[in-house]
Structure 1
Amino acid sequence: MSLHYLVIFSLVLLAAASSDALVQDFCIADLSHPAGPAGYPCKKSSSVTENDFFFHGLAAAGNTKNIISAAVTPAFDGQFPGVNGLGLSIARLDLAPGGVIPLHTHPAGSEILVVIQGTITAGLISSFENKVYIKTLNKGDVMVFPQGLLHFQINSGKGTPAQAFVSFSSQNPGLQITDFALFQNDFPTELVAKTTFLDVAQIKKLKGVLGGTN
């Protein structure tokens, strides 16, 4: 292919890739309908108000009185209709002393975290050689977690709460917590043992703690 045709071909691809962004200014989520693979359908423009671009839900701390002593308050498309179709969202993270967000992944988006209060130890695991990267973060520190990689956050401060805000490169990044995926459902114990190399007694104990069956 000549350089001339290569340039034209590249410009066509670029135009095609960016055409969706030029169709309309925004697509406020119509929460009266279910979300599809591309997000929620758009509200009629005549019914859009300034409140669709506003979200107050991150002002208050989440309830950390739970098994992980932590809370995540999301502002995804289901809570904040204005981010629908924009490929971004935000959430608040509260960690009580000893709190932990267990190993988890976001299959649909990368994450960036900024610490607002306290000390958080965070880490991620690469898919190449399963290399682990761990960093202790203090107020004002920022860490990024690439899409789909296992990662975690722990309040590593000495008896003080920790708070952070996390932003995602998706209106709904998805979430799968490894412990819950293994032990909070009806995944048969013998198959969990076979696929994780854990002993049956430990698996049953974890299922009992997290509410799993079978």
Structure 2
Amino acid sequence: MGEMYTVKQGDFLSKIAAKFGFANAMTIWDDPQNAKLKKERKNPNVLFPGDVLFIPDKKQKQESGPTEQRIRFELKGSKVMLRLVLEDAFNKPIANAPCELAVEGETHKLVSDGKGKIEKEIPKSAEKATLVIKDPKTPVNDQIIPILIGHLNPVDKLSGQKARLNNLGYFAGPLDKEDENLFRSAVEEFQCEHMGKAAVDGKCGPKTQAKLLEVHGC
């Protein structure tokens, strides 16, 4: 029979699947009743508050085994991969930098790779994290960087555009406040640096959205 679920801010498919007891999130995403949403949202882990997702009934799976013998079952998929790319104000990677990632009460010591990327498996239930770069050579050494997990909205939404621009260092303003001049200025700067001067119009249309996805990574 299943049920309908309305997406809330901070939700993403893997988190929703874990909430309903699904080890494989694609079981939900690939259900025929989610075909329309699947077509609209290309990335199942970048949903928008108000999206409606169909949650199918879970199917029982039977396994056979010898009697009078202990059988171990392992539940997979309790974690999700967090990926971050660290760059300086000139869009240069902060490479090989020691970092401390704090999430759900645990602190993990990591080192960015040659392209400034760090990866860490975290619980699907995680909603917030903080990152501290421990490299005296960088201007952001010892600064606490807050991370909201699952709060990135689709790129065709204004909040999603502003979040990506902010993440890339083009200050488009707070997500909960509108400042058309600030947003337009950020878009123009992004277009100039990544699309060429001829493309600068200050509007975040389909071509700019596509480039924003490409540069941001998601």
**TM-score range, shorter-chain basis?**
under 0.3
What TM-score comes out, normalization by structure 2 length? 0.25
What TM-score comes out, normalization by structure 1 length? 0.25
Structure with the higher fraction of residues in strand conformation? 1
* Higher relative contact order, chain-length normalized (CA < 8 Å, sep 6+): 1
